[in-house]
Structure 1
């Protein structure tokens, strides 16, 4: 397929995609039971989810592993959205201060008719990730920048905005509604258009992305699919109670992840599941203790 992105070369785009995927590296390490429970699993929720959604133990455990990985991967996608601009003409991605700075000596026309030569950018993955305190702090930062430099605009750029937009950002500071024509809330597609002069620049990037990701993933020595051992280890714990495929045995294995020191999870478990033959309960406690 012919390369049709004028604002970034195919080599640079592929390089950036590769760097983003490499950031997935530590999340692609295999999950064992200790890592799975490192942030303390909620056994009650896990059992509710399994029953309500009518999934198998393997499915619900794999879903939880995916959720844990996905939580970290959001930061990596933020890296993709922000650092791609280091390859755009006139753009800088500073180490601190602002997410992106764009300078154009020929001038940048704003929707209200102003011409500025620098744009300072704060970037968010989603439109709803800022609370009122964070919004006020960011707005005050932008306000201060405009007071310091009257030849600039400040943009809050959202990768996932409610809609395509380039509007004055209205928010609250100290309980008062504030807005300024040079402090704007801009969706990612509109920001790409400002930088490139092409209305469909972001669309073009999105169309090129799947093929480039697949190319990088399939490279020799590329991304390895992890082999997670959580379900096997849970079944091992469950087998100490009885049958590793029995619902109660698996439930007890899950309960022990979070409740092994809770009152009642000793003698009463023994009473429910029978005598503690061969020190079975002790072995379970010792096994789970190693997960902490």
Structure 2
């Protein structure tokens, strides 16, 4: 019987991948308590400019900042989603913290997957090239890939060039865009497009399968902060500033 969603992985596998990603979203939302929201120090000077110059109410501004923190956490989970989907293609498997993200079961391919092309600085690029080159040297029949799911073009080419002032090249180390990597593993040219078009249906089917009461537990940060403003009579931004910087000269008087 034909698959309901995509041709290159089973319906059950794709639903499981979506379920895992949804759980990451829920965890990210639940993790934004006031304590976690403050963990990296909130830039309330920037938020003041944002509020005034963009004409945004303070409560809406803080909610947007909370969503930005959630989004930052989710970006890593999106990369994991692609690893899990690709690991469900016959002949391939995920690394499970083994140093690679995807490999061929016959050791002819190793890959490190980045969701976006610009997530690495020069030092991490150099470290990644060296790691892929070691796999290529160890497994003489293997091609090794730096995969950019969201790339600036469509390509599958040798990865060579100047990194940190050193010239790097290897006959079996490549860089490849997301569409080309999905096509390579699935033997289906439009595999990534097929996944994209299937996602609304897969997500809808997943959400229908779970209890509505368990669907979303909202973060508590904004509620905790506004609760404090009721006691202190401070504005939301003043409350956040006080709680983050009361040890600065004069800030304890806010």
TM-score by length of 1: 0.77
Which residue of 106, 129, 140 corresponds with 2:130? Answer: 140
Distance (Å, rounded) in 1 between the aligned partners of 2:167 and 2:121: 15
8 Å CA contact 2:59–2:236 kept in 1: the answer is no
Q: Which residue of 2 aligns with 1:7?
A: 8
Contact 1:166 1:186 in 2 (8 A): yes
Return 5+ residue gaps in structure 1 as ranges.
Answer: 105-116, 270-292
Please tell me the root mean square deviation across aligned C-alpha atoms, in Å. 2.4
What is the match of residue 244 of structure 2?
Answer: 258
| Equivalent of 2:216 in 199, 213, 225 | 225
Output the TM-score relative to the length of structure 2: 0.87
Q: Which residue of 2 aligns with 1:75?
A: 76
Which residue is equivalent to 2:155?
165
Taking a change above 3 Å as real, the CA distance of residues 212 and 56 of structure 1, as seen in their structure-2 partners, is same
Quote the Cα distance in structure 2 between the aligned partners of 1:123 and 1:30: 26
Identify the residue that residue 98 of structure 1 maps to in structure 2. 100
- Contact 1:118–1:151 (8 Å) recurs in 2: yes
2:142 counterpart residue number? 152
Q: Give unpaired runs (5+ residues) of structure 2.
A: none
Q: Structure 1: how far apart are the matches of 2:232 and 2:65?
A: 23
Number of equivalent positions:
251
Who is 1:26 aligned against? 27
Quote the residue 1:238 is aligned against: 229
Larger radius of gyration: 1
Which one of 109, 113, 129 corresponds to residue 119 of structure 1?
109
Structure 1 residues 2 and 128: alpha-carbon distance in aligned structure 2, compared to 1, 3 A threshold: same
Deviation >6 Å, runs of 4+:
none
Q: Which moved more, 1:121-130 or 1:135-144?
A: 135-144
Matched, 1:185 2:175: yes
Taking the aligned partners of 1:163 and 1:5, their CA distance within structure 2 comes to: 24
